[in-house]
Every structure is written in structure tokens, then in C-alpha cells.
Structure 1
Amino acid sequence: MKPFIKKCGLVLTGGALQGFGMGVFLFPQDIPSGGAGGIAILLNHWFEMGMGPSLWIVNFTMLTLGVQYLGKRFALWTFVGITMTSLAVDFFESTFPIVHRHLLLDLVIGSVFLGTGIGILMRQGVSNGGVGVIAFMISHGRNILPGKPLFLINTTIFIVTAAVISWEIVILALVSQWISTSKVDLVYRLKLYHVYTLSWHKKT
């Protein structure tokens, strides 16, 4: 029971940290937090949906694509993570408004929190949702760190999002992804605590 509680705590912490980075620093500057964030910004732009619900819809849709490959246990933990993230985005957006903003500070601080949260989730064998599910599948299938495939997939979505909204966000989004995915790989390498994981495997 104790390892299970520890895993729950870390998954919730990872989701809250990335939600904090998104809701307080990145989304107010219209900087996509990732591929799912880019799609969520498009939903917000087209349908005026809140960023929290938009992000959850995108993440849940992507998650359904990975259930058959990664298994129901993986999907369940990822569902917990993406739900916590969306709740955190809504909470922090409304609770911690910043009056005097600085674009570069928001970019760096938000990206560090984002990458830390994602790294904690992936250390637990949990995806951050969205295209992270696909990146997680590639990472384990090819035995590579998850930051690189996450960066490549997100970059493609950024270009599409920028073409619809504004090309100015591309550079900011790419810098954010470089910082956050570097942080993902750094946290993923850490061996400061024992990781309790529910086993997952490719279904036959």
C-alpha cells in the first residue's frame, strides 16, 4: 500500500507541476506547452473553450489511442495525471494572476515547471497525456529517452498551430520545448528514489 500511495502522490505532483507551468506562465503568453497544448489553443481560438477543458479533451482523445498498445493500467495512471493537470491549469490560471509580466521569464520558468512535471510522470511509467503517449511508446519501443520524440512530434503540431494563429509563436514554442524536454530527460535520468511502477506491456 505504501508504494502505491507514493506513486499516487508523485503522479499528482507531476500533473500539478506541469499544470502550474502552463496555467501561470505559458498559456497567458499564448505559448503552447506541447502538441496537446497547441491543439488546445486552437480549440480555445475556434470555440472559445477554457484551456483546462480543452487540454483535457485533447489529452483524453490521445490517450485512447495508446490503451490497446500500453494497457489499461498505464491508461488509468495517465488519466489521473492528465486530469490533475487540467484541474491545475484552471486553478492556477484564476488563483495566481501575474500583473507585470516578462515574456522571457514566463517562457523559461513555465518551461522548467512543465518539464519537471512531465519528467516526474514519465519516471513513474506514466505519460503526460496528449502526444506524450506516442512519445512514450516510441521511447520504450526503441529504448531511447522520451524527450527527443516528444520534441519532434510537438514541433510538427506547433507549425500547424502557428499557421492558423500566428507565426510569432513558433520560436517561443520551440524554445519552450527545448527547455522542457531537456528537463524531462534530466529528471528521467535521476535515481534519487525507488520507483514503484505497475507493469505494462504490449498486448498480444
Structure 2
Amino acid sequence: MHAGTEINQQRHSQIEDLLALVAGCILMALSVTFYRHAGLLTGGTTGLAFIAHYVSNWPLGAILFVVNLPFYVFSWLAMGKTFTLKTFAAVLGFSVMTEYMPSLLRLEYMHATYAAIAAGFLAGTGILIFIRHGASLGGIGVMALYLQKRKGWRAGHIQMACDAVILLSGITVIPLKAMALSLLSALALNLVIAMNHRQGRYFGC
């Protein structure tokens, strides 16, 4: 490689990681606000939390935190201590911000289609921030990584299958139009990740 094309790869500092986790949590909590305002669903454990919230009206932030607890075991085994601790902090921050967001932001009107697309883009960006700083929102994603490591199963396929089941199960709690918009939002989210999370495009550690 020519000297002019060499890129100095440096690990993020602890302050950078902390600021990134805060930024990611804010974006994710804002996306959840959009989902909730439009009565939509998303995949993963966040989708499970939404279904429980819609059915029981229990606090969404508390459900988000509790539903992720079992997956820290998979995170520890598949990704190690540092990743798991960062993920725990991310989920905790995300849960707290989600719970208190209604007191910080009140929406009078938002078109459902816009809410679906914007929520997907926000969530995708938040997830990218977590990935690039060695964290995640836990849940099914880390279980998929664990199964890929131990069983050789494709983590992406596991994640897609679980998300499909979660979204389809939402038919019992949200209207068909909201389900269609939820699928549109999932597409927007995955487009953000597919376009930006490519090896060689980002050199942070």
C-alpha cells in the first residue's frame, strides 16, 4: 500500500465511546417515539417490547430493559466482557430515554408513512453508531451471533427469521395498514445498515 493511501487506525477513546452511546440512545429513543406515535412495530426485542406494551399498557422502557436481560448471557459467551458491558449500558440508556421521552417531546401530528420511514432511518443510524463503538442493543442479534459461533448458523438468517416472526405476530395487535408501514420501516432501517456497514468503508475501531 502506498504511503499516501495508508490510514492510521486508532481505537475510540472511552469519552468517544460514551458520547457515541448517548447519541445512539437518543436516536433510538426518538425512533421509538415515532413508532409509538404512529402505532407501528419493529423487529427484535424492541418489537417484542412493543407488542407487550400494546397488549398490557405496561411502561415501554421497563419492558425494553427486562426483555433484554436473558440475552446478556449470549452476549458474554459470543462477544466477551467489554462488548456485553457496553451493550448493557446502551440498553439501560435506551430504556430510560424511551420511558422519559414523552415528557421531553410531545408530537401533535405526524403522517404515519413519514413516521415509518423516519423511524427506520433513525433506528438504523443508531444501530450503526453502536456497532462502530463495539456495542449493540442486545437481544436477538447477540443470540444470533452466539449460534453462528457455536453452530455455524448464519446470524443474518436467524435475525431475519426472528424479526419476521415478531412482525407477523403483531397482526394480532395492530391494523394491517400499520403492519404494512412497519414492514416499510424495517426496509428503511436495513437499507441504512446495508449501505453504510460495509467492510473497508469505515476504519474506526
Q: Tell me if 1:177 matches 2:186.
A: yes
**Is the CA contact 2:77–2:146 (under 8 Å) kept in the aligned structure 1?**
no
The DSSP-based 3-state class of the residue aligned with 2:109 is coil
Distance in 1, Cα, partners of 2:126 & 2:26: 7
For residues 159-194 of structure 1, the C-alpha deviation after alignment (integer angstroms, 9 at most, x for no partner) is 1232x3135243222211111122123332374562
Which of 160, 165, 174 is residue 173 of structure 2 equivalent to?
A: 165
Q: Which residue of structure 1 aligns with residue 21 of structure 2?
A: 11
For residues 33-86 of structure 1, the C-alpha deviation after alignment (integer angstroms, 9 at most, x for no partner) is 322122112222343211111111112233333322322222111001111111
Q: Residues 172 and 138 from structure 1, CA distance in 2 versus in 1: closer, same or farther, beyond 3 angstroms?
A: farther
One-letter amino acid of the counterpart of residue 194, structure 1: G
The DSSP-based 3-state class of the residue aligned with 2:197 is helix
Aligned pairs, how many? 192
Distance in 1, Cα, partners of 2:156 & 2:187: 9
Q: Which residue of structure 2 aligns with residue 28 of structure 1?
A: 37
Residue ranges of structure 2 left out of the alignment (5+ in a row): 1-10
Taking structure 2 as the reference length, the TM-score comes to: 0.79
Which of 85, 93, 98 is residue 84 of structure 1 equivalent to?
A: 93
Q: Tell me if 1:194 matches 2:166.
A: no
Distance in 1, Cα, partners of 2:157 & 2:125: 16
Distance in 2, Cα, partners of 1:120 & 1:147: 19
Distance in 1, Cα, partners of 2:156 & 2:190: 5
**Is the CA contact 1:78–1:129 (under 8 Å) kept in the aligned structure 2?**
yes
- Bigger Rg over Cα: 2
Taking structure 1 as the reference length, the TM-score comes to: 0.80
Q: Residues 2 and 44 from structure 1, CA distance in 2 versus in 1: closer, same or farther, beyond 3 angstroms?
A: closer
The DSSP-based 3-state class of the residue aligned with 2:121 is helix
Distance in 2, Cα, partners of 1:114 & 1:126: 14
Q: Residues 147 and 124 from structure 1, CA distance in 2 versus in 1: closer, same or farther, beyond 3 angstroms?
A: farther
For residues 84-103 of structure 1, the C-alpha deviation after alignment (integer angstroms, 9 at most, x for no partner) is 11122123233211112210
Give how far 1:18 is off.
1.2
Distance in 1, Cα, partners of 2:14 & 2:125: 21
Distance in 1, Cα, partners of 2:156 & 2:78: 20
Cα root mean square deviation, aligned? 2.7
Q: Tell me if 1:113 matches 2:122.
A: yes
For residues 135-160 of structure 1, the C-alpha deviation after alignment (integer angstroms, 9 at most, x for no partner) is 45468887x8x776544421121112
Distance in 2, Cα, partners of 1:122 & 1:132: 11
